[in-house]
């Protein structure tokens, strides 16, 4: 397919612009709680998996982040008292990431902020446009990450990727928070 778009008109450039803007606004929204958007997305994921806690590798795969990034995120959440680690009951080499009550409280507070932000971003869209946007974004995710089904259609509250840290940020496209 011929691409006659200028660099600024390319889809990738727009995605990066949106991701950076969302990350910056989300971080400022959650900062008063002493948490980053990336940490919030991870806490939301842990709340949903409270009955079957993931291990660090599951988090790395789910958010498409590297081991050092996941380690940093989890260590900072542990320092804040939002997560603990427990050995897997079947394989003691595996450490499960357990959300604490304080982590659940932080997840709920930041979810409200992030929901408000998303509502603001989509305020000029009709319900049909929002549905179409989700459909197209799912296609982009499928094209960018073939064979990976990190978003079970309808379970897209993690950022949505966020860093889709899974959202964006560091030199590897990852957020260090």
What does pLDDT average to in each consecutive run of 10 residues of the chain (177 residues)? 64 91 91 91 95 95 93 96 95 94 95 91 96 93 75 46 36 41
Judging by beta carbons within 10 Å of its beta carbon (0-12, 13-18, 19+), is residue 67 exposed, middle or buried? Answer: exposed
Q: What is the pLDDT of residue 171?
A: 33
Quote the pLDDT of residue 127. Answer: 96
Q: Which residues contact 117 (CB under 8 A, 6 or more apart)?
A: 22, 25, 26, 29
Q: Is 174 left (phi over 0), alpha (psi -120 to 50) or beta?
A: beta
Per-residue pLDDT, 9: 78
CB 9 within 8 A of CB 17: no
> What does the pLDDT read at residue 33?
85
Q: Report pLDDT for 135.
A: 94
What is the pLDDT, as a whole number, of residue 151? 54
pLDDT at 7: 65
Which pairing describes strands 95-99 and 83-87: parallel, antiparallel, or unpaired?
antiparallel
Please report the pLDDT score of residue 148 as a whole number: 66
Which domains, from first to last, does the chain contain?
A: 11-144 (1.10.10.10)
Q: What is the pTM of this model?
A: 0.76
């Amino acid at each position: 397919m011929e691409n006659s778009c200028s660099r600024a008109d390319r889809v990738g450039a727009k995605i990066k612009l949106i991701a950076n803007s969302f990350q910056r606004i989300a971080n400022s929204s959650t900062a008063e709680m002493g948490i980053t958007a990336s940490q919030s997305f991870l806490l939301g994921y842990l709340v949903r998996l409270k009955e079957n806690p993931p291990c660090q590798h599951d988090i790395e795969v789910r958010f498409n982040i590297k081991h050092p990034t996941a380690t940093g995120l989890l260590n900072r959440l542990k320092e804040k008292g939002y997560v603990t680690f427990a050995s897997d009951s079947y394989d003691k080499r595996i450490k499960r990431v357990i959300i604490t009550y304080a982590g659940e409280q932080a997840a709920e507070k930041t979810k409200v902020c992030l929901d408000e932000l998303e509502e603001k971003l989509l305020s000029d869209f009709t319900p049909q446009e929002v549905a179409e946007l989700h459909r197209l974004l799912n296609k982009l995710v499928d094209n960018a990450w073939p064979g990976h089904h990190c978003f079970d259609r309808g379970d897209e509250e993690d950022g949505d990727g966020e860093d889709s840290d899974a959202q964006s940020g560091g030199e590897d496209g990852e957020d260090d928070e």
